[in-house]
């Protein structure tokens, strides 16, 4: 009879796309994982996977076994979850990935509160503005802004979000307030790059009026460029240029006037915030509880931001 841990390794290998990624997720070395998978196949008397250096492919028998294993493991997980519901205690190591600014302003504090409720839990938070591979990196979940969630991952919506163009009052007083996206080409724009040496970027806008209006793309540039959103944020606060940021990253500064949003007749790119994870069926209790806590925190924060949003400040004239 097959061992449940071998079933988990087999299913996770298919979901992750590689035996090494599955081994990292489950705590097996590639060599041990390969031996356990070979043992499973030998015990069943069939080949489940066609393996190469690049990918795994299910055989016909493997496909049938994969579906049955998912059902069996889901039933086992449900049974264990029912037992755990009584204590609702998160234990073990939780590994989370997040963009830098969002992580420092929202995810880090959420983890702090969550860890205080679960003293047996250890948490590792990785902050990076680069998109990390959740499975290869061994993360339990990853928070992402915008973009299309990878098809092999499960995405849970945390908050609606858009990008806004803003600047410090000192910059707007010195250089004037842009009245249309086209005027951004004449301004110092702080370019946030992703590994590119280019000092320019394309910013997209949609008129805030009727739905279906054509978007506008503007090539912007400036003297300052960085691959770190926090540095771009600091430069904007120092009055060095216009910056385009997630509204969640600049909510506090917009509320107290340290930054002023421009182009009210135009809406920036819609960039919803999601938390991504590998599978609903094999989600550890610690990950499930943390994701539920994140959803609740963002819902509360969104309501608070909407309720306390100040009237739009009139930007200083030239």
pTM, whole model, 2 decimals?
0.65
pLDDT digits (tens, 9 = 90+) for 142-198: 999 887 665 678 889 999 988 899 999 999 999 999 999 999 999 999 998 865 556
Buried b / exposed e over 48-87, threshold 16 CB at 10 Å, is bbebeeeebebeeebeebbeebbeebeeebeeeeeebeee
Report pLDDT for 87.
55
Residue 282 has pLDDT above 80, yes or no: no
pLDDT interval class at 317 (50, 70, 90): very low
* Mean pLDDT value across residues 250-259: 93
Helices 229-237 and 247-256 pack at an angle, to 10 degrees, of 20
- Look up tokens 């793309």; give the residue: 217
Report residue 82 as tokens: 């029912």
User: Which domains does the chain carry?
Assistant: 4-85 (1.10.10.10), 92-159+272-307 (3.40.190.10), 163-270 (3.40.190.290)
């Amino acid at each position: 009879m097959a061992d449940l841990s071998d079933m988990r390794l087999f299913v996770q290998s298919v979901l992750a796309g590689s035996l090494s990624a599955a081994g990292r997720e489950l705590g097996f070395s590639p060599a041990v994982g390969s031996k356990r998978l070979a043992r499973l196949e030998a015990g069943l008397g069939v080949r489940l996977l066609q393996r190469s250096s690049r990918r795994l492919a299910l055989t016909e028998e493997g496909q049938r076994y994969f579906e049955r294993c998912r059902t069996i493991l889901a039933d086992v997980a449900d049974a264990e979850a029912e037992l755990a519901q009584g204590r609702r205690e998160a234990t073990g190591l939780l590994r989370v990935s997040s963009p830098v600014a969002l992580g420092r302003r929202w995810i880090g504090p959420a983890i702090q509160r969550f860890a205080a409720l679960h003293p047996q839990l250890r948490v590792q938070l990785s902050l990076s503005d680069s998109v990390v591979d959740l499975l290869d990196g061994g993360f339990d979940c990853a928070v992402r802004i915008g973009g299309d969630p990878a098809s092999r991952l499960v995405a849970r919506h945390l908050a609606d979000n858009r990008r806004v163009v803003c600047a410090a009052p000192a910059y707007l007083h010195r250089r004037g307030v842009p009245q249309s996206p086209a005027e951004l080409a004449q301004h110092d724009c702080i370019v946030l790059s992703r590994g590119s040496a280019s000092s320019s970027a394309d910013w997209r806008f949609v008129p805030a009026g009727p739905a279906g209006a054509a978007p506008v793309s503007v090539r912007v540039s400036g003297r300052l460029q960085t691959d770190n959103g926090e540095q771009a944020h600091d430069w904007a606060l120092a009055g060095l240029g216009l910056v385009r940021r997630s509204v969640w990253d600049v909510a506090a500064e917009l509320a107290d006037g340290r930054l002023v949003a421009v182009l009210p007749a135009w809406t920036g790119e819609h960039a919803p915030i999601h938390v991504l994870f590998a599978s609903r069926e094999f989600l550890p209790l610690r990950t499930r509880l943390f994701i539920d806590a994140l959803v609740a925190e963002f819902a509360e924060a969104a309501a608070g931001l909407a309720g306390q949003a100040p009237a739009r400040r009139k930007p200083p004239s030239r």
